[in-house]
């Protein structure tokens, strides 16, 4: 920190909470494609950062985390801020952990941490530094060129694998292609669309529970929605190709396998922990998704495809896409003037207004489906990017958006978060004001933890019988998100009238374009079982009233 006084090219981003720091570093790494570097304090900082660290680990985001700890001569004495086995604390959610043992080793340990954070599949590395080591003077240190610690991640499939993959695709009666999260980092979406078109194969995105970002254009005629979203489409398939997906991140064990045992399975990706983990594969390719898709497309163009079979499949897929889109558009029209505001309308109006190359950071649990339905990322060079996390640890979205904007100041950046998620990461707004980071924060406010109420209702027990869903409501008192944001120096407004939604979105994006962060708190409809319940658990300490029935 002392050295940074005179190192102005290095931008040090201060935050109020280690969770915000971790998420900002995560968002920066995703948007920049570079490894982020961060510093937190002792066991407290590690504990606060551990939740978002889970997100970075699950999403394989390269971040080097450094942590200060008490002096080595005080270890074992129960000294202030002594942390037993601190370097091992987050070991289950890091690629590598290490306690620096000598001051002389600091440069080499840091070099190794940067290297291992990027080695596929990537993820956070974690280093602890004892106070007394920073107080030593090192006369000389070898600083190696960054290029010598940058692993090659352009891993191509070999030609035999590509030939076999194309043989399997061409030989299938109904092949399915499922696009996963790795396309965000390594690309391949445009080539997959052309492959789907040539084969007449439906192109899905990964399952809802995987929380995969939007990685392919939802408006494309071969896009078929989320895999397993419509169980009856297609009625049968004999080949499943996961491109950078999870296979599968699920919320519950399905009654029968999502991919039938009779179907052939191809799984492509750089995450060794995913390939063949839950489903046996007929062809597992540990390779870059973009390079694989490009090689498959090149080979596929040389094949003599059955025009009759391709045309028939394409007709079925295009009809499904058209019918699905008509149904979704009809649902949006039917609820267009609903109050509270319909999520379908909010997603539609956002889609109409966001820049063609906007970065959209989403932390929406039950509302995420609307982004994968109505948000179009486009294709080609100037396309939108959607970042989300499958870690499931709330409080990531606002800070990640701030980190993304720091990394890409030339791009429009918005954070779409739930009202519950917002409360976990609200401290990040302070950093946005301090460093004049113009991001739009749009809260999808349904007044509670809707996912919890949804599952409570689904159990069909007393909660469903009585309409009393313990621990799910954020009403009583209602939270004034606008006042909270104002306390951090961020202007904003509450929107509950659908007729005012478009103008409010325009104001938000204009403020962002003008260089200011801005917050919209939008009241949206509640969905799923128990949505009409206004009950919340209550007792009064002041009046001595017991918990009410």
Q: What is the 3-state secondary structure (H, E, C) of 392-443?
A: CCCCCHHHHHHHHHHHCCCCCEEEEEEHHHHHHHCCHHHHHHHCCCCCEEEE
318 falls in which pLDDT band (50, 70, 90)?
Answer: very high
pLDDT at 407: 97
Under the banding of pLDDT at 50, 70 and 90, the label for residue 255 is: confident
- The better pLDDT of the pair 287, 380 is held by 287
pLDDT at res. 155? 85
Across the chain, which distance is largest between two alpha carbons, in Å? Answer: 81
**Separation of alpha carbons 82 and 392, rounded Å:** 30
> 68 φ, ψ to 5°?
-80, 145
pLDDT of 254: 85
User: Which structure tokens are listed for 336?
Assistant: 């267009």
pLDDT at 113: 96
The structure's pTM equals: 0.95
Percent of the chain whose pLDDT exceeds 70: 99
Question: For residue 250, is pLDDT > 90?
Answer: no
Residue 128: partners with Cβ closer than 8 Å, 6 or more residues away: 66, 67, 68, 69, 86, 87, 97, 98, 99, 100
What pLDDT, on the 0 to 100 scale, is given for residue 256?
Answer: 85
**In the structure encoding, which two tokens stand for residue 294, read together?**
């490009």
Residue with token string 């003077």: 137
Give the whole-angstrom CA distance, residue 162 versus residue 78.
59
| pLDDT higher than threshold 80 for residue 152 | no
The label of the residue with tokens 């290297």 reads 115
Cα distance between residue 39 and residue 68, in whole Å: 8
Neighbours of 337 (CB within 10 A): 12
pLDDT at 378 over 90: no
Q: Is 47 helix (H, G, I), strand (E, B) or coil?
A: helix
Please state, as a whole number, how many other Cβ atoms lie within 10 Å of the Cβ of residue 491.
Answer: 14
Helices (H), 408-528: 419-425, 428-434, 450-458, 462-466, 481-487, 501-513
Confidence (pLDDT) at 209: 84
CA distances to 321, 336, 423 from 333, rounded to whole Å, are 18, 5, 32
- Lowest-confidence segment of 7-21, 50-64, 243-257 by average pLDDT: 243-257
Find residue 360's DSSP bridge partners. 386, 414
pLDDT of residue 67: 96
What is the rounded CA–CA span in Å between residue 68 and residue 128? 6
Q: Are 268 and 285 in contact (CB under 8 A)?
A: yes
pLDDT-wise least confident of 75-89, 394-408, 411-425, 533-547: 75-89
Instruction: Please state the rounded mean pLDDT for residues 119-134.
Output: 93
Angle (CA) 164-202-527 rounded to 5° is: 135
| 144, 147, 445 from 524: Cα distances, Å | 53, 49, 6
Confidence class for position 274, pLDDT limits 50, 70, 90: confident
Q: pLDDT category, 193, cuts 50, 70, 90?
A: very high
Instruction: Check residue 1 and give its pLDDT.
Output: 87
Name which residue leads in pLDDT, 436 or 207. 436
Give phi and psi for 540, each to the nearest 5: -120, 120
The CB density around residue 371, as the number of other CB atoms within 10 Å, is 22
The pLDDT of residue 153 is 76
What integer pLDDT is reported at residue 151 of this predicted model?
77
**CA 63 to mean position of chain CA atoms:** 15
Spatial CA neighbour of 477 closest among 447, 454, 521, 497: 447
Beta-bridge partner residues of 413:
359
How does residue 203 score in pLDDT terms, banded at 50, 70 and 90? Answer: very high
Specify whether the CB–CB gap between 192 and 377 falls below 8 A.
no
Nearest residue to 426 via CA among 495, 508, 489, 364? 489
Residue 334 parent element (H or E): helix 307-334
Q: Which whole number is the average pLDDT over 356-365?
A: 94
Average pLDDT, the chain: 93
Q: What is the pLDDT of residue 272?
A: 85
Mean pLDDT of 395-408: 98
Q: Which of 348, 367, 498, 506 is nearest to 445 (CA)?
A: 367
């Amino acid at each position: 920190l002392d050295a940074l006084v005179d190192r102005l090219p290095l931008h040090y981003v201060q935050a109020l909470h280690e969770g915000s720091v971790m998420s900002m570093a995560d968002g920066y790494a995703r948007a920049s494609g570079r490894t982020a570097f961060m510093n937190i304090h002792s066991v407290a900082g590690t504990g606060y950062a551990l939740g978002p660290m889970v997100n970075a680990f699950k999403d394989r985001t390269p971040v080097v985390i450094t942590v200060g700890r008490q002096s080595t001569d005080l270890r074992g004495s129960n000294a202030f801020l002594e942390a037993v086995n601190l370097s091992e604390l987050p070991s289950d959610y890091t690629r590598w952990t290490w306690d620096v043992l000598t001051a002389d080793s600091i440069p080499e340990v840091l070099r190794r941490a940067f290297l291992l954070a990027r080695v596929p599949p990537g993820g956070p590395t974690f280093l602890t530094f004892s106070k007394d080591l920073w107080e030593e003077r090192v006369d000389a240190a070898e600083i190696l060129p960054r290029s010598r610690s940058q692993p090659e991640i352009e891993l191509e499939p070999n030609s035999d694998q590509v030939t076999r993959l194309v043989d399997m695709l061409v030989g299938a009666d109904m092949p399915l292609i499922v696009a996963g999260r790795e396309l965000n980092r390594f690309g391949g979406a445009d080539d997959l669309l052309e492959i789907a078109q040539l084969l007449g194969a439906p192109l899905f995105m990964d399952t809802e529970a995987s929380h995969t970002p939007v990685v392919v254009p939802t408006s494309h005629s071969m896009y078929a929605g989320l895999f397993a979203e419509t169980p009856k489409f297609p009625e049968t398939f004999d080949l499943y190709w996961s491109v950078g997906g999870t296979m599968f991140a699920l919320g519950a064990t399905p009654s029968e396998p999502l991919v039938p045992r009779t179907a052939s399975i191809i799984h492509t990706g750089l995450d060794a922990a995913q390939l063949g983990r839950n489903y046996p594969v007929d062809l597992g390719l540990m390779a870059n998704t973009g390079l694989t898709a490009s090689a498959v497309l090149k080979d596929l163009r040389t094949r003599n495809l059955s025009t009759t079979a391709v045309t028939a499949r394409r007709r079925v897929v295009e009809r499904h896409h058209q019918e699905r889109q008509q149904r979704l558009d009809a649902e949006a029209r039917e609820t267009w003037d609903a109050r509270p505001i319909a999520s379908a309308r909010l997603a539609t109006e956002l889609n109409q207004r966001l820049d063609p190359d906007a970065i959209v950071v989403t932390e929406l649990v039950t509302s995420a489906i609307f982004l994968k339905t109505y948000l179009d990322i486009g294709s080609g060079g100037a396309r939108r990017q959607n970042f989300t996390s499958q870690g499931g640890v709330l409080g990531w979205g606002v800070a990640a958006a701030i980190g993304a904007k720091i990394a890409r100041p030339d791009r429009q950046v918005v954070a779409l978060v739930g009202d519950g998620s917002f409360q976990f990461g609200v401290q990040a707004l302070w950093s946005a004001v301090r460093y004049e980071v113009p991001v739009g924060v749009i809260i999808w406010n349904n007044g509670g933890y809707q996912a919890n109420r949804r599952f409570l209702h689904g159990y069909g027990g007393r909660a469903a019988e009585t309409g009393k869903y313990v621990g799910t409501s954020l009403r009583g008192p209602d939270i004034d998100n606008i006042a909270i944001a104002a306390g951090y120096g961020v202007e904003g407004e509450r929107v509950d009238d659908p007729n005012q939604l478009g103008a409010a979105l325009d104001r938000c994006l204009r403020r962002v374009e003008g260089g200011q962060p801005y917050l919209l708190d939008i009241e949206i409809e509640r969905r799923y079982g128990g949505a009409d319940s206004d009950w919340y658990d209550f007792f009064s300490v002041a009046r001595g009233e017991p918990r009410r029935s």
